[in-house]
Amino acid sequence: MTTTEHIAPAPSSVPVPVPAAPTGRKTVLLIGGVDAHVERYVALGVTTVLIQHPDKVTEYQTRAADVLLVVDYTDWDTVRPFAEAARAVYGVDAVVSLTEPGVTPAGRLGDLFGLTDGRRHEVSRRMRDKSLMRRHLAENGLPVPHAALVEGRESLDAFGERVGYPFIVKPVSTTAGFGLLRAESRADLDRVWARIREMDGGRTDRGSTMFTVDGFLMESYIDGPEFSVEALSFAGRHVVVAVTEKLTSEEHFAELGHAVPARLDAGDRTALTDAVEEFLTGMGVTDGPSHTEIRLSSRGPLVIESHNRLGGDNIVELVEAAYGIDMIAYGTAWPLGLVEPLAASPEPKGSAVMRVVLREPGTVTAVAGVDEVRARPDVLAAQVNVGPGDTVRPLRDNWDRLGSVVVTAADTDSAVALCERLVRESIRIDVEPAAAAAPALAA
């Protein structure tokens, strides 16, 4: 019986040695992650040494991980000695992370331990840093929008004069739409600059606080419908698993829903997947899952941003329901050589859709219907994260959404219709309107 060591030491201390893993078992050093990632390793019989952030530890991880080290793994000087000690005690066959804050330290540790091709950290850094990504693509002759770093108030004026309006301003390395700004005109730049100064240098204050706002990038606006491409890479060969249709709005930066498979003709789908495969190769991605957001613009397919990790927002559940492909299983098993690579893109066996729950700003007075929706056989998930007394904020980004419903159906049109009906009619969230905010939202 393997015992779990739960060690939550100060950053300067050293992990307490415990007996090494049984001979013959693979050992993974997992950086961050959610319960599902640990579950896959338990199912594989892999010795799991989990380095988890103090804010993210769950009861299941405490029970299921063979070793649990609780430290801020986003700080290199903190995580390195713990990872080195864990490797010395248990041996490590692979360093893995499938989440945004973990992929960069995981890549750096894998390179340090000689478990990768030595470029994993470099690739992860330029995938996360949107400025590095744009510069690398341009240097390699791949299509990019006009882009430049914000370097003072005057740089906003100069960029607007050069590329026109609207244009987008975004933090170089946050996630989930945090801090995105749209400069509508020259007259709008004072507002944009004030918000930049308010956020720059601090931690993200919505959702996770694990990201630092460390500079802003300006990009010319990309028009056209938005999609994401979910892929798995096997030693440099990219296999597109699914193209996800995204529901967005020009009024804000919140994602309102996803549909798999996307409703596309064959030509547009090929254009998107070819562009993403070219992008991944150009960025140096060789192994593991990726989630690439892309628009079919008037200039052709243009990548908005990409991540060498799994897509969030229920996308992995949508993909598994529609295609029968467990991307978490591939992401966890492939680095250890415990799964065969996909030979080709799968064919859909159905459709799956997620739609978010929204209401007008105000104060929640009642919530009902969630359990009934969740009990339906065609519903994969239903959740609402507000209750009576909670505030409904004006919709700016993903952190203002109130919940979501995920459904399956035979085809995408049917799944979309079902999901939207359940969100609109079956989940009840009563809200007392916010008097000052309601007229502005209506306008």
Q: Which CATH class is domain 224-349?
A: alpha beta
Q: For the chain, what percent of residues have pLDDT higher than 70?
A: 89
pLDDT in tens, 303-325: 999 999 999 989 999 999 999 99
pLDDT the model gives residue 10: 34
The stretch 87-116 carries a mean pLDDT of 96
Joined together, the tokens standing for residue 63 give: 């029970």
Residue 1 pLDDT: 34
pLDDT of residue 22: 46
Q: Does the structure show a pLDDT above 90 at 14?
A: no
Highest-pLDDT range among 7-11, 129-133, 252-256, 336-340? 336-340
Contact by Cβ (8 Å): 26, 46: yes
CATH superfamily assigned to domain 350-443: ATP-grasp fold, B domain (3.30.470.20)
Question: Same CATH topology for 5-116 and 224-349?
Answer: no
Contacts of 86 (CB under 8 A, 6+ apart): 15, 29, 49, 51, 67, 69, 92
Q: Which is more confidently placed, 268 or 173?
A: 268
SS3 285: coil
Measuring CA to CA, which residue among 382, 379, 377 is closest to residue 427? 382
In the chain, count H helices and then E strands.
Answer: 14, 20
pLDDT score for 434: 79
Cross-strand pairs, 295: 226, 302
Task: Identify the weakest region by mean pLDDT among 5-9, 85-89, 211-215, 364-368.
Answer: 5-9
pLDDT at position 174 is 64
**368-380 exposure pattern, b = at least 16 Cβ within 10 A, e = fewer:** eebeebeeeeebb
Alpha-helical segments (H) within 217-297? 266-283
Question: What is the pLDDT at residue 49?
Answer: 98
What number is the average pLDDT over the span 178-187? Answer: 88
Report, at the CATH architecture level, how domain 5-116 is classified. 3-Layer(aba) Sandwich (3.40)
Homologous superfamily of domain range 146-220: ATP-grasp fold, A domain (3.30.1490.20)
pLDDT band at 436 (very low <50, low <70, confident <90, very high): low
The yes-or-no verdict on residue 15 having pLDDT over 70 is: no
Q: What is the mean pLDDT of residues 18-44?
A: 84
pLDDT at 199: 84
Percent of the chain whose predicted confidence (pLDDT) is above 90: 78
Domain layout of the chain by residue ranges: 5-116, 146-220, 224-349, 350-443
Q: Residue 340: pLDDT above 50?
A: yes
Q: 3-class SS at 272? A: helix
Average confidence (pLDDT) over 98-125: 95
pLDDT category of residue 244 using cuts at 50, 70 and 90: very high
pLDDT digits (tens, 9 = 90+) for 51-77: 999 999 999 999 999 999 999 999 999
pLDDT for 180 equals 84
Mean pLDDT, the chain, rounded, equals 89
For residue 211, the model assigns a pLDDT of: 61
352-363 pLDDT, tens digit per residue, is 999 999 999 999
Instruction: Note the pLDDT of residue 429.
Output: 95
* pLDDT computed for residue 440 by the predictor: 41
Polymer length of the chain = 443
pLDDT over 90 (residue 82): yes
Cα(303)–Cα(386) distance, rounded to whole angstroms?
34
Task: Collect all residues with Cβ–Cβ distance below 8 Å to 207 and sequence separation of at least 6.
Answer: 176, 178, 398, 399
β-bridge pairing 47-52 and 67-70: parallel
Confidence at residue 175, expressed as pLDDT on a 0 to 100 scale = 60
More confident residue, 72 or 400: 72
Q: State the pLDDT confidence band at 176, using cuts at 50, 70 and 90.
A: low
Rounded to whole angstroms, how far apart are CA atoms 135 and 93?
33
Peptide bond into 15 cis (omega under 30): no
For the stretch 253-289, pLDDT in tens is 778 899 999 999 999 999 999 999 999 999 999 999 9
pLDDT of residue 4: 42
